[in-house]
Amino acid sequence: MAEEETAKNEELETKVEVTEANTEADAPETTTEKATAKAGKRSAKSLKEAEEKVQKEERKESGDTSPLNEEEATIKRGPAPKVRPLIERRGKAYRKAAEQLEVGKLYTFAEAMELAGKTSTTKFDATVELHVNLNVDPRQADQNVRATVALPHGTGKTIRVAVFAPADQHEVAKKAGADIVGEDDFLKQLEKEQLDFDVLISTPQLMPKLGKYARMLGPRGLMPNPKSGTVTTKVAEAVKQAKAGRVEYRVDKQGIVHLGVGKASFDSAKLLENAKAFVDSLNGVRPASIKGGYIKSITASSTMGPGIKIDPTSL
């Protein structure tokens, strides 16, 4: 009997040992790695990218520029690209015109207006433009320079004027030289986006009707504005001024005013008078909050022609 009990005890001990071994084998392995998700910041891909970013920052701080792996080390690097000067990347006509200008020289207005016509590189009658860099901050309401100027000799461009006014002023506007005159029929043209005009003049009482089309007219610079003289009760006078060469200018986000002061076919005397009228107008609307210099620099150029730097004090 004692031998049978001993045998049973040994058999039970063996079964217990086998059970414990199986339990240990089925238990999940414990690792020190962070738990990962299928997606998001805890995904394996995101964790790997974050680790690589940290390594990259450490290498940058230590100034280590050695390749990260053997593949990068075996890539053959070509010679550094040679960047040609800007003048060499221009066309032949431009380079030939630029030869007439002296690098670094500030020209007088009279010299610049004469050179602007000579350095025109286009086959068509190019526009002579003035680009005036102002010491203003356009983000400030009182420094957002905007005005109109009547150029003595016009811009050289045929101006098409539209008048949006009541019926009793249509005949007066037509006699003054307006190309398009109307009220309700003019709104129908706007509905079809027919913008066959360069300047739009409106009377104050009809301005609310144009509010619907502000998003279409505003970006094109066609929305009437009291500051530019295009919202007025004196329709005939406004039409004559627009036809005679009254143009609007406004400072851009970089603090620069751009305006065409004539055509390359104008003689230098006409261009000079137009340029003088523009600069005088610009000085007349100088913001009171500006301290120090107002005009930083002035550059003249014809369409697609080289820039001519001008001495602002030469007028």
Q: 308-310 and 295-302 as β-strands: parallel, antiparallel, unpaired?
A: antiparallel
Mean residue pLDDT of the chain comes to 84
**What's the pLDDT score for residue 30?**
45
Residue 284 has pLDDT above 50, yes or no: yes
Q: Assess contact for 111 and 269: CB atoms under 8 A.
A: no
**pLDDT at 312 > cutoff 70:** yes
- In this prediction, residue 46 carries a pLDDT of 86
Identify the structural domains of the chain with CATH numbers, from first to last. 97-156+245-315 (3.30.190.20), 160-244 (3.40.50.790)
Q: What is the pLDDT of residue 37?
A: 76
Q: pLDDT at position 13, please? A: 57
The tokens 């003048």 sit on which residue? Answer: 87
Sign of CA dihedral 276, 278, 281, 282: negative
Residue 112 confidence (pLDDT): 94
pLDDT of residue 70: 60
Tell whether the model's pLDDT for residue 2 goes beyond 60.
no
Q: Is the pLDDT of residue 176 over 80?
A: yes
The mean pLDDT of 162-174, rounded to a whole number, is 91
Length of the chain in residues, anyone?
315
Question: What pLDDT does 19 receive?
Answer: 55
Residue-level pLDDT at 71: 58
Q: Tell me how far CA of residue 185 lies from CA of 19, 40, 72, 165, in angstroms.
A: 97, 59, 70, 11
The pLDDT of residue 32 is: 42
Summarize pLDDT for 81-114 with one digit per residue, the tens.
788 887 778 888 888 888 999 988 999 999 999 9
**CA–CA separation, 70 and 84 (whole Å):** 34
What is the reported pLDDT for 307? 93
Whether residue 167 is predicted with pLDDT greater than 70 in this model: the reply is yes
